[in-house]
Amino acid sequence: VGCAALKIAPLSHVAIVVSILSIWPLHTLTVSECYHSVNGPVLLTVAASFGVGSAMTNSGLAHTLADGLLLLAHGKIPVLAALMGVSLMLGVVVSNNTVVIMLSNLVRHVAEKEGISIKVCILVLIYSANFSFATPFSYQTNMMVMPHGKYVFTDFLRMGIPMQIFCGTLAVILCVAMYD
């Protein structure tokens, strides 16, 4: 904490170093336990989504999609609602982290063209990407509760879609009201 207070190093860097240095000497975790606690498929998915996001930008797909979205929606609330809808639909098939990475350049382009605060657009994207209620495979905990609650796929659709619409609408309204 002293290093961060004296501006020798950022607090986040100091915290990581202290955490790592305290794990092994205190025998909290073994090296093997640390290694096996890293979820390889999740890390790979997130890493791959950076590539997909870059490809969307470099190929011009993000700009094309943004232009298409702006043809359908005009004005702050409709544009934010359309961004939310795209994010929710994409979130059904990929993880929330991937949604944010893939759509961040699209959101930036839409915000610039429509004159909407980038902060509001990014917040709507982040919130809507995390409304992963419509399918059991859209988020890890959905898969975890499915067998124990004896849920079936249609339970997620029946309850998840209305909840996504409600939470998404609330997110758009509150983001505009609080941050614009």
Q: Could you read off the pLDDT of 24-35 as tens digits, one per residue?
A: 677 777 777 777
Burial zone of 38 (CB within 10 Å; 0-12 exposed, 13-18 middle, 19+ buried): exposed
Provide mean pLDDT across the span 128-138: 84
Residues 6+ apart with CB under 8 A from 54: none
> With 70 as the cut, is the pLDDT of residue 72 above it?
yes
> Rounded to whole angstroms, what are the CA distances from 4 to 16, 110, 116, 129, 175?
12, 38, 36, 33, 32
Distance CA 160, CA 134 (A): 4
pTM (predicted TM-score): 0.69
Highest mean pLDDT among 5-14, 108-117, 128-137: 108-117
> With 70 as the cut, is the pLDDT of residue 77 above it?
yes
Secondary structure, 3-state, 60-99: CHHHHHHHHHHHHCCCHHHHHHHHHHHHHHHHCCCCHHHH
Q: Could you read off the pLDDT of 85-121 as tens digits, one per residue?
A: 888 888 887 778 878 888 888 898 889 988 999 999 9
